[in-house]
Amino acid sequence: MSSIVVRVNCDAKSLVGISSIGRREKSVKVCSRIRFGSGGAVVAEPKRSSEERVYEVVLKQASLVREEKRGVNIEFDLQKTIEGDCSNGDILNSAYDRCGEVCAEYAKTFYLGTQLMTQERREAIWAIYVWCRRTDELVDGPNSSHITPTALDMWEQRLTDVFESRPYDMFDAALSHTVSKYPVDIQPFKDMIEGMRMDLRKSRYNNFDELYLYCYYVAGTVGLMSVPIMGIAPESKASTESIYNAALALGIANQLTNILRDVGEDARRGRVYLPQDELAQAGLSDEDIMSGKVTEKWRNFMKGQIKRARMFFDEAEKGVSELSSASRWPVWASLLLYRQILDSIEANDYDNFTKRAYVGKVNKLLSLPAAYGIALFGPKKLTKLFMR
Ligand SMILES: CC(C)=CCC/C(C)=C/CC/C(C)=C/CC/C(C)=C/[C@@H]1[C@@H](COP(=O)(O)OP(=O)(O)O)[C@]1(C)CC/C=C(\C)CC/C=C(\C)CCC=C(C)C
Ligand SMILES: [Mn+2]
């Protein structure tokens, strides 16, 4: 049987990515070999790691920003889709206001953080926040038992409409406006929906590669959506890709932290988001998780998982100072706050079965000025100031 081999040689520079966090792989040359058998059927395709797949999205979003290629900026007529007797400007203002209200209601600290951004950026971040929250609510909210893959397909169609300036409601209208104004690619949004699909069909992850992909879908995507809005500092010398990598890392770090905090809660819903091969290596099984006993094996396993989450936070730190000055504070605040959840798991002696790790009010309050200081002086200078 004859087969045609199509070889796609990729630009080596475009494939310089993070591999196994902390180790930067230089010029990894990857050739995708797509084989078509008789009748055009795909015969074999070498398996790419999740990191390689995700890195392609990073590159696409980064190049969109570099080229300052903006959305088509179609003047959309809100009157056609939203009833009301007022001008586009009025509708948009109240659409953004409502996004702000949702944000203030569901994510108070983060809402506070956005107050330091310019009004335009703040509103755009709110619009993205609301879309992410609504997407997550589909699979985690009160109606989640009725959500099918078809419902997610419809949500994705609606997303395409939003990107093509056909909003369905006020929240969509704010997002339509945002994505027409900033160089935001649709792919991370689609990928977040893919993450929700994954949640519907999958409750175990064989290895970290599978978990990494899930974390990218539901959280790394948020980093990629946010940076085009937050903006990169004009004086930054870092490459756009490296900044997007850091943003991706922050999302992954947050989601890994979420997973470690919620082990007990997830297990009670029949879900284990921990890599099965690593559990087995540690001599642990699903039954150990379901029984919820904190043993020495569990503590050791958790130490490794926490270490990995911290490495992603470290990777993220490298990019925060490259963001435009007004965007650094909320990002530092979210990084410092989320990272402390890991400290809290340790303080609970790794009992994430019956205790919920959280950041206390005092630490929360202290983190905000600390984040502000780091944003202003940089992490190194601030440490020096306090060491004197
Ligand atoms: C260079 C650099 C470091 C730039 C920073 C880039 C940046 C702003 C990254 C943000 C990362 C971030 C906040 C990711 C969110 C991760 C997260 C918690 C995802 C949650 C997914 C599902 O989890 P799960 O169901 O297990 O958990 P719950 O019990 O439901 O909580 C999410 C809930 C997905 C939906 C995400 C959101 C609602 C958050 C969206 C946030 C923004 C758009 C704003 C981000 C901006 C700032 C300033 C942090
Ligand atoms: Mn959720």
Q: The complex's ipTM?
A: 0.96
Higher pLDDT, 183 or 33: 183
Please indicate whether residue 140, judged by its CB atom, sits closer than 6 Å to ligand 1: yes
The region that residue 184 occupies, defined by phi over 0 for left and psi between -120 and 50 for alpha, beta otherwise, is: beta
Please indicate whether residue 335, judged by its CB atom, sits closer than 6 Å to ligand 1: no
Q: Parallel, antiparallel, or unpaired for β 31-36 and 4-9?
A: antiparallel
pLDDT of 78 over the 70 cut: no
Q: Which ligand is nearest to the CA of 247?
A: 1
Q: Which ligand is nearest to the CA of 138?
A: 2
Q: How far is the CA of 71 from the centre of ligand 1 (A)?
A: 23
Six token digits for residue 322: 């490259």
Residue whose CB lies within 8 A of the most ligand 1 atoms, among 194, 226, 374, for a mutation test: 226
Q: What mean pLDDT comes out for the span 93-103?
A: 96
Please report the pLDDT score of residue 65 as a whole number: 82
Please indicate whether residue 17, judged by its CB atom, sits closer than 6 Å to ligand 1: no
pLDDT of 79 over the 80 cut: no
Q: How far is the CA of 140 from the centre of ligand 2 (A)?
A: 5
Residue bearing the CA closest to ligand 1, atom 36? 132
pLDDT of 5 over the 60 cut: no
Residue bearing the CA closest to ligand 1, atom 17? 219
Please indicate whether residue 188, judged by its CB atom, sits closer than 6 Å to ligand 1: no
pLDDT of 9 over the 50 cut: no
Q: How far is the CA of 111 from the centre of ligand 1 (A)?
A: 13
Q: Which ligand is nearest to the CA of 265?
A: 1
Please indicate whether residue 138, judged by its CB atom, sits closer than 6 Å to ligand 1: no
Q: What mean pLDDT comes out for the span 307-330?
A: 96
Q: Report the chain's mean pLDDT, rounded to a whole number.
A: 85
Please report the pLDDT score of residue 89 as a whole number: 78
Please indicate whether residue 133, judged by its CB atom, sits closer than 6 Å to ligand 1: yes
Amino acid in the structure at residue 340? Q
Query: Which pLDDT band, with edges at 50, 70 and 90, does 60 fall under?
Result: confident
Q: What mean pLDDT comes out for the span 183-202?
A: 97
Orientation of helix 187-201 relative to helix 149-163, angle to 10°: 170
Residue whose CB lies within 8 A of the most ligand 1 atoms, among 136, 191, 241, for a mutation test: 136
Residue bearing the CA closest to ligand 1, atom 22? 218
Please indicate whether residue 302, judged by its CB atom, sits closer than 6 Å to ligand 1: no
What is the per-residue pLDDT across 275-290, written as a single tens digit (0 to 9) for each? 999 999 999 999 999 9
Q: How far is the CA of 381 from the centre of ligand 2 (A)?
A: 37
